[in-house]
Amino acid sequence: MRFGTRLALFVTATLLVVGATTGVGVRFLLRDILIDDGKTQVVAAEARFHKQLTELGRSMAEGVRLLTLDFALRRAIADRDAATVLSALRNHGRRVGASRTILIDTDGTVAGDTSDDAAGAGAAFPFPALLDRAAEEEYAAMVAIVENKPVWLVVVPVLAPDPIAYIAAALPLDSARLLRMQDAIGLPGQLGLAARGPAGWRQVAGSMGDRLPEHLPLEGNEPTVVAFDGDEDIVLTRILAVPENSPAVMTVIGYPLSDALRRYQRILLGLVPALALGGGAALIGLAAIARGVSRPIEVLAGYTERIAAGDYTPPPPLARGDELGQLSVALHAMTRAISDREDRIRHQATHDPITGLTNRDAFLATVQAADPAGAMVVVALTAWRDTVRTVGREIGEGLMHDVGQRIASILPANVPLGAIGENAFAVYLPGADPAAARAIAAHIAELCDLPYRNADPYLEPGLNIDIPVAAGIALRPDHGSDPALLVRRAEVALLAAMQQQTRVASYDPDADPHRPMRLSLMNDLRVGLRRNEFQLLYQPKLDLRTNTITGAEALIRWQHPTQGFLPPDEFISLAEQTGNIQHVTRWVLRNGLLEASAWQAAGLSVRLAINLSVRDLSDEKLPERIAELLQNIGLPPRALVLEVTESAIMGEPERAIAVLRRLEQLGLDIAIDDFGVGQSSLAYLRRLPICEIKLDKSFIMQLRQNSDDRTIVRSVIELAHGLGYRVTAEGVEDAFGLDLLRSFGCDYAQGYYIARPLPAATFRALVASGPDPALGAPA
């Protein structure tokens, strides 16, 4: 069989299969569409029907209310004039469309009824709950079954001004009225009312007829497809609110799905001749084209067009021995060479040449298309540059390649991994929560605990190199959705891990110095210092020997004009990072010393302690500034104590010690703050020009529970006294700790048990009041 014939038969068969499949698919698709449309229609029709009922009840209630306002009727009711009342009820009932109007006394008995079949006056109104509801809500309207027929029953109180009677109007909800309502709501189906009796549900009005489903209500009060003798209807039922003593009533709405499908039957049948005509046309066209398609020159032209479009899949050579066959072989070889070269270029553009992993740009593009929720982990070799300077870049690059392979070995294939710097990798974990991200980061750090062994025989073979790493984590979308921003914030967390000497750290927006809000906060800080938005509080310092307040530590507080109260932790650390801490220190020194001058003028012998930061100790002009400030205010140097932390000294110890010695030469006392939690050694402690150490509160707050802390505190106090230092304990929270410190020979104490940080006036009053007996007897 020739190629053209095979092609024609194949295409024709394909058209027939596609046509038949399309017809079946269209039929089922139409059915699904019509079902969805029908469900929508019955739900909307049901809502419109209930809206009509509600409006009908409101309209009837307004009509009946007009009757209740008739003075003559109210007089007739009061006078028990039954004839006048019945005449008014009949006339007005006809005007509002009611088939029956009833006057009910306040005790629930019927006083008058326009129905000829009524039981007569004195009978109990069958729905007393409607009377209570009408009295509370001005009127009550519900569907009820009266004498086995559905009616729309409206009850309105007759007020004078309290209810003296009730008028009930019954509007029949018969099939004729339901048909009119069905036309009004535009339902192309059936609408009926069903009532529940001893034998089950039965239709009491409407057009459902024998198409009423056997099992009502249908499950869930949702539109349901129900079969009737080969036809299908979409049925929606909804139980209506009825008064007590009335059988349950529900609306039943049906939508004829079978009728809707018949409208499209001719369209589906019309596909058959269309397919036949299309198949015949295809056969004729394919017969004419087959000869040209089989010609090799057109095949080769198609190959070249495909190559020009960027598709470098090598075309198969033609099975010919002539020049055209040789040309197809050459085209095949050329296409393969171009494809290989393009692959190399693309790989070089998207991959790191050292590790073989995707580079930063390709990694970010991969993350952009990944799960929008996940975690970014950036891992850096913290000592890589030192390694390169020591053993050379070749070994450093081998180290990077090895670490990349270690990380890749623990990651699933779908997890993006890239080399984003000369010593950093990034991993994006789709769908990972913070705990999972920290677990992966910790696992990577554990992998790097094994040293790298250099295997290059020409570059120090057998050399073992430790691989210290740190990792930073940022969450998506919590910390950003853009991949580049996410990487930057993971790098901020990485720097925090390196500074805190931890292996893993998560991104903390409050600690990010690059956040615009934090940078704006520093501008606000400088403005706030000029506008005196800050306040100094004074933490009293108790002399344990005399039981008197002999000192205070100045603590700064900021009442921001728009952000409210900002704790020191939110701006002090940022001020240190940005260099603004020196402005803060100068403000605290000036205002604190002015307050200390007021103490001196009031005859209070109290020394002021002010904290210095690491940046303050790098300022070589600090001693001159403090000396000038003391001289201008008129305070002796002994009135001021400067507190520095161990970490502030350890940053640049030689420069810090030099500045501290110059401060000591001015006559100022130097104290080590937060002693015991920093990095200093006894060797440095011996070199420092200090006269006091302040024990960190972490040792003091657990004195009652922790015997180790008691041993440490006693030992430090004895050591400090042996070196000639005074000792202040911070964080004293109870009488037990205070008494224990006094028994250890501690000199001073601070903490909430003694007093919280106080405004200046409150602090002065506290000092002037003298020793507090509640703090124990003097030593």
Indicate the SS3 state at residue 354. Answer: coil
Q: In whole angstroms, give the CA distance from residue 282 to residue 17.
A: 14
C-alpha distances in Å from residue 156, one per residue of 114, 145, 398, 608, 768: 16, 19, 93, 83, 79
The 8-class DSSP code of residue 758 comes to B
> Cβ distance 39 to 260 under 8 Å?
no
Cβ atoms within 10 Å of 63's Cβ, excluding its own: 18
CA distance 720 to 691: 9
Residue 103, both tokens: 């006057």
Q: Which residues contact 79 (CB under 8 A, 6 or more apart)?
A: none
Please, which residues have CB within 8 angstroms of residue 122's CB and are 6 or more apart in sequence?
Answer: 109, 110
Q: How many CA atoms lie within 13 A of 293 on its CB side?
A: 13
CA torsion sign for 137, 141, 142, 148 is positive
DSSP string, 722-739: HTT-EEEE----SHHHHH
728/749 Cα distance (integer angstroms): 5
Which structure tokens are listed for 635? 């305070």
| Paired sense of beta strands 424-430 and 374-381, if any | antiparallel
Q: How many helices (H) and strands (E) does the chain have?
A: 27, 26
Q: Is 655 left (phi over 0), alpha (psi -120 to 50) or beta?
A: alpha
Is 55 an active-site residue?
no
Query: Which is it for the CA torsion 566, 572, 574, 578, positive or negative?
Result: positive
Omega before 568 within 30 of 0, i.e. cis: no
> Do 547 and 775 meet the contact criterion of CB atoms below 8 Å apart?
yes
Q: Give the Cα separation of 287 and 290 in Å (integer).
A: 5
d(CA 90, CA 19): 69
Contact by Cβ (8 Å): 448, 403: yes
Give 579's DSSP letter: T
CA–CA dist 289, 295 (Å, integer) = 10
> How is residue 453 written in tokens?
């062994």
Catalytic residue of the set 55, 136, 730, 733: 730
Structure tokens at 523: 């501008």
The strand pairing partners of 319, in sequence order, are none
DSSP H or E segment with residue 7 = helix 3-68
Cα angle at 41 between 39 and 46, to 5 degrees?
A: 95
Contact 167, 96 (CB under 8 A): no
- Cα(108)–Cα(122) distance, integer angstroms: 9
- Look up tokens 């229609």; give the residue: 41
Query: Which of 213, 194, 183, 218 is CA-nearest to residue 143?
Result: 194
The single-letter code of the amino acid at 700 is I
252 forms beta bridges with 192, 237
User: What letter does residue 351 receive in the DSSP assignment?
Assistant: B
Which residues on neighbouring strands pair with residue 40, listed in sequence order? none
Helix (H, G, I), strand (E, B) or coil at 606: coil
d(CA 748, CA 540): 10
Catalytic residues: 730
